[in-house]
Amino acid sequence: MNRNNTVWMNQLSWVDYQQRIQSEHPPVLLPVGALEQHGPHLPLGTDGLLASAVAADTAARVGGLVAPTLSYGYKSQPKCGGGQHFCGTTSVDAATLIGQVRDAVREFARHGLTKLVIVNGHYENQWFLIEGIDLGLRDARAADPACALQVMRLEYWDFMTPETLGDVFPDGFPGFALEHAAVLETSMMLHHHPSLVRMDLLPDDGPADFPPYDMYPPRTDWVPPSGVLSSAKGSDAAKGQLLADEVARRMAEAITTGFTRPAP
C-alpha cells in the first residue's frame, strides 16, 4: 500500500506530510475523546474510537488527514457520562485539556496548515476545546501575524438529522446526554468496531431520572449501576451505518463550505 494515500497523519513520514500540506492544503482532523466507562458492553475508549472513525470517514471524502486522537477528556459528569466514580474512567483537569489543544493548534499552525477540524467525541470537552483553540490561535498569530490557520470545532452527533434520529428511535429520542453508552454509541461501535462490543452484556437501564440541579460531591446513587444512562436495547450495526454515513457526509459538506480559501 502506498502510504501517501493514507488518511492517517501518523503513517506518513515528515517529508510526505510536508509535501501534502504544501501542495494540497488538506484539512487536518483532530479527534478528541476520553477514557471513560461506557457500561459493561463497550470499551473505555469509545469516545475516542468513534471520533477517530467518523474523522477518517470524513477525511476520505474531502482529501483530508486525521491526526492522532487526544484520548483523555475532561471529567465525566453524572448526567452525561456517569461520573468519575467508575473504575477505568481516567480524566484530566480543564487546564490540562486546554493546554493540549492550545499546543496542538499552535503546532499545526507552525506546520503551515490552513484548515484544522477538531472533532469532539466527549460531551464534557466542549468549552475547554473552545478555550484551547482561542489560546492556540492567539499564540500562532503572535508568532506569525500572517498565520492563515482557521479552526473548525464540531461535535459529531450534531450532524445527525431529526429524520435519521426518528428512524433510529421510533419510540422517541431521549436526548444526546442520556444516550451515553446507549443506542447511538452502541450502534456506531457495532458498525465501526464490532469486535469490541459485548452484546451479551447489554444492560437495559434507564432512562436515568436526574433532578434539575447538580450536587457536589456528586450523588453517585443518581447514576444506574451499569453506567448506562438509557437503554441500549435495539442497537444494531445497520443503525450504526445509517448514523455514520450521515455524519460523515454532512461533516464533509461543512468542511467543504465552512473554510474560506487559503491565502495565496
Question: Annotated catalytic, 179?
Answer: no
Tell whether the torsion through CA atoms of 135, 177, 201 and 167 is positive or negative: negative
Helices (H), the chain: 14-24, 46-62, 78-81, 94-111, 126-143, 162-168, 183-192, 237-258
CA triplet 223, 160, 77: central angle to 5 degrees? 25
Query: Which residue of the set 41, 47, 155, 191 is catalytic?
Result: 47
Query: Which residue of the set 38, 41, 191, 192 is catalytic?
Result: 38
What's the half-sphere exposure (Cβ side, CA atoms, 13 Å) at 166? 3
Strands lying side by side in the sheet with 65-66: 65-66, 28-32, 115-120, 150-155
Query: Which residue of the set 41, 122, 191, 192 is catalytic?
Result: 122
Burial status of residue 240 (CB atoms within 10 A of its CB: 0-12, 13-18, 19 or more) = buried
Query: Which residue of the set 139, 155, 179, 185 is catalytic?
Result: 185
Write the single-letter amino acid at 163. E
Residue 93 grid coordinates: 483537569
CA triplet 87, 68, 198: central angle to 5 degrees? 40
CA distance 223 to 246: 31
Q: What are the φ/ψ torsions at residue 120 (nearest 5 degrees)?
A: -85, 135
For residue 112, what are the β-bridge partners? none
Query: Which residue of the set 57, 124, 155, 179 is catalytic?
Result: 124
Nearest one of 73, 4, 12, 68 to 37, comparing CA atoms: 73
B/e letters for 8-43, b = 16+ CB within 10 Å, e = fewer, are ebeebeeeebeebbeeebbbbbbbbbbbbbbbebbb
Query: Which residue of the set 57, 155, 179, 180 is catalytic?
Result: 180
Question: Annotated catalytic, 36?
Answer: yes
Question: Annotated catalytic, 191?
Answer: no
Residues with a known catalytic role: 36, 38, 47, 122, 124, 180, 185
